[in-house]
Chains A and B, each alone.
Chain A
Amino acid sequence: MNWIDTIAQGVLLGGLYALFAAGLSLVFGIMRLVNLAHGDLIVMGAYLILLVVSLTGVNPFLAALIAVPLMFALGWGLQRVVLNRVLGSDILPPLLVTFGLSIVVQNVLLQGFSADSQRVGAGALETASVDLGVVTLGVMPLLTFASAIAVIVALNWVFYRTSLGRAFRATSDDPVTASLMGIKPQGIFAMATGIAMIVVTIAALYLGMRANFDPTIGPARLIYAFEAVIIGGLGSLWGTLAGGVIIGVAQTLGAAINPEWQILAGHIAFLVVLLIRPRGLFPRAFD
């Protein structure tokens, strides 16, 4: 087998996992909320893009652009109406609520779109590739990886260079003192979930174009996202990308040795990292 090719494919696959994980990481970092419906929301985003494509005939990228404000509004409303009510010192209520939400989303999608697997067609882009001499890389995986980096750069910019980002970090540190600064923690949380849903939409775009999806595949995507976040260290977005890359490379290496080992190899890499660095590769200095 061609090692360089396998590793390059794995790195690019890691970009997809980082996209799955970035929204999860954002929400957890700001409000310590583990959203078990994250994977299902990505699948829902993919259906929304599919719907826009089939209704209007625009290309998937434009359809995603149309879906972004809708998904932002959905995330904002979800946080305002549901999740803010269950956030507190007890971590169990939000887990239960998002677990329930996961089931609801899956069944609504099943009702609305049936169990048939779907795909967002991307035309010639699906098979396009660039020959770099040593390896030949698909344009779609390259775009995915570039999008992951763009998302992380953008999120870091918001976090560290804007007034909103300061409010995110302050609220994450200490919501009571943040409210003494005139910040409404509830509003900040709604904004964070809204932004997470923008990232979800981008993840959904690539999920939908790269592979078949049906209403039930959300939780499996959530596992990869979790593993990427935890390998990277909670709260670090570049760490999340590194985590995604580690899982991606482990999976492609595993698959190159024996196709049955693809999924297992990713999980084993996750466990090995946890054994060596229990807090992940780039943990935050304080919690």
Chain B
Amino acid sequence: MTLLQTVGLTARYGDFQALFGVDVSLAAGQTVAIIGANGAGKTTLMRSISGVLRNAPEQVLFEGRPVGALPADEITGLGIAMVPEGRRLFPSLSVEENLLIGAYGRKVQGPWGLDAVYGLFPILKERRSNPGTALSGGQQQMVAIGRALMSNPRVLLCDEISLGLAPVVIRDIYAALPRIKEAGASVVLVEQDIGQAMKVADHVYCMMEGRVTLHGAPGELSREAIHDAYFGAHA
């Protein structure tokens, strides 16, 4: 069953068009990875789905319902949570407050609450009263993921969660993914690290210059095809 879908998504920043008819779909229970170089439009795609950028209503469908024009706070209310690029923790809030604000204004129903997030990332419990921004990059990323989980999302959008982190830290963070999926969230990952994306995704979309240039299950895609789709055929 298709949970989330973009249909000919054409996002723009003023006069600058960033996406040219992107079709991506996520089935319930799946993990989808979006790969591509800088400027390919991956973050724009995330911002469009999450409602930070507004689009025509029928360009984003959630359970078949047009949601492309809804503002971010209503998208979150529908059950789509985002881990934004660069983590974006609130510097005025402690680690625990950063987590709590993820569940703002909602009666939390579902597997994720403070205890469950601390169970997933035990180090956060130790650092719960520190300011969110006093943590290491990897710990901050854990807070950002935990904060998104606190809303008990049905879809978790992760924008470049491995960016700028050491490989060992990236491994720790990705180790949490199976438990997030078990708890019932479907995941969209934006990754620059192709190897990482191929390992965890059920379906991979490769983007270049605002278009999807290649997609398929990781097993079906050859290295050459990905290389061409990533850098352009003649690069």
How many residues belonging to B are interface residues under a CB distance threshold of 8 Å?
A: 25
Is the pair A181, B147 in contact by a Cβ cutoff of 8 Å?
Answer: yes
Query: How far is A129 from B88 in the complex, measured between Cα atoms in Å?
Result: 54
Whether A3 sits at the interface, judged by CB under 8 Å, is no
Residues A167 and B90 in contact in the complex (CB < 8 Å), given A180-B50, A180-B72, A180-B82: no
Query: How far is A180 from B106 in the complex, measured between Cα atoms in Å?
Result: 13
> A216 to nearest B CB, angstroms?
38
Is the pair B100, A183 in contact by a Cβ cutoff of 8 Å?
Answer: no
Interface centre among A163, A178, A179, A183 (most CB of B within 10 A): A179
Query: How far is A163 from B100 in the complex, measured between Cα atoms in Å?
Result: 8
Residues of B within 8 A of A277 (CB): none
Whether B36 sits at the interface, judged by CB under 8 Å, is no
Closest to B105 in A: A182
Residues of B within 8 A of A176 (CB): 52, 72
Residues of A within 8 A of B110 (CB): none
Is the pair B52, A166 in contact by a Cβ cutoff of 8 Å?
Answer: no
**Contacting residue for A182 out of B77, B84, B90, B91, CB 8 A:** B77
Residues of B within 8 A of A273 (CB): none
Query: How far is A174 from B102 in the complex, measured between Cα atoms in Å?
Result: 14
Is the pair A179, B71 in contact by a Cβ cutoff of 8 Å?
Answer: yes
Residues of A within 8 A of B37 (CB): none
Is the pair A177, B71 in contact by a Cβ cutoff of 8 Å?
Answer: no
**Contacting residue for B90 out of A177, A179, A184, CB 8 A:** A177
Query: How far is A215 from B90 in the complex, measured between Cα atoms in Å?
Result: 42
> B108 to nearest A CB, angstroms?
12
CB-CB contacts below 8 Å: A83-99 with B: none
Whether A172 sits at the interface, judged by CB under 8 Å, is yes
Is the pair B88, A166 in contact by a Cβ cutoff of 8 Å?
Answer: no
Whether B135 sits at the interface, judged by CB under 8 Å, is no
> A28 to nearest B CB, angstroms?
15
CB-CB contacts below 8 Å: B71-93 with A: 71-73, 76-77, 81-82, 84, 88, 90-93
Whether B151 sits at the interface, judged by CB under 8 Å, is yes
Whether A170 sits at the interface, judged by CB under 8 Å, is yes
Interface Cβ pair total, 8 Å cutoff:
70
Query: How far is A172 from B77 in the complex, measured between Cα atoms in Å?
Result: 21
Is the pair A167, B72 in contact by a Cβ cutoff of 8 Å?
Answer: no
Residues A179 and B100 in contact in the complex (CB < 8 Å), given A169-B90, A169-B92, A173-B91: no
Closest to B47 in A: A176
Closest to A284 in B: B92
> A131 to nearest B CB, angstroms?
45
Residues of A within 8 A of B101 (CB): 166-167, 170, 178, 181, 183
Is the pair B92, A179 in contact by a Cβ cutoff of 8 Å?
Answer: no
Is the pair A182, B71 in contact by a Cβ cutoff of 8 Å?
Answer: no
| Chain B 161-180 near chain A by CB (<8 Å), digits 1 or 0 | 00000000000000000000
> A30 to nearest B CB, angstroms?
11
Query: How far is A183 from B104 in the complex, measured between Cα atoms in Å?
Result: 7
Is the pair B93, A166 in contact by a Cβ cutoff of 8 Å?
Answer: yes
Is the pair A177, B73 in contact by a Cβ cutoff of 8 Å?
Answer: no
Residues of B within 8 A of A177 (CB): 84, 88, 90
Residues of B within 8 A of A169 (CB): 90, 92-93, 97
Is the pair A172, B52 in contact by a Cβ cutoff of 8 Å?
Answer: no
Is the pair A174, B90 in contact by a Cβ cutoff of 8 Å?
Answer: yes
Residues A166 and B91 in contact in the complex (CB < 8 Å), given A179-B71, A180-B82: no
What are 10 A-B pairs at a CB distance below 8 A?
A: A166-B93, A166-B101, A167-B105, A169-B92, A169-B93, A170-B93, A177-B88, A180-B52, A181-B151, A286-B91
Q: Which A residues have a C-beta under 8 Å from some C-beta of B? A: 163, 166-167, 169-170, 172-174, 176-184, 286
Q: Known A-B contacts: A166-B97, A180-B50. Give 19 more (CB < 8 A).
A: A163-B100, A163-B104, A166-B101, A166-B104, A167-B101, A167-B105, A169-B90, A169-B92, A169-B93, A170-B92, A173-B93, A177-B84, A178-B90, A179-B52, A179-B71, A179-B72, A181-B76, A181-B147, A183-B105
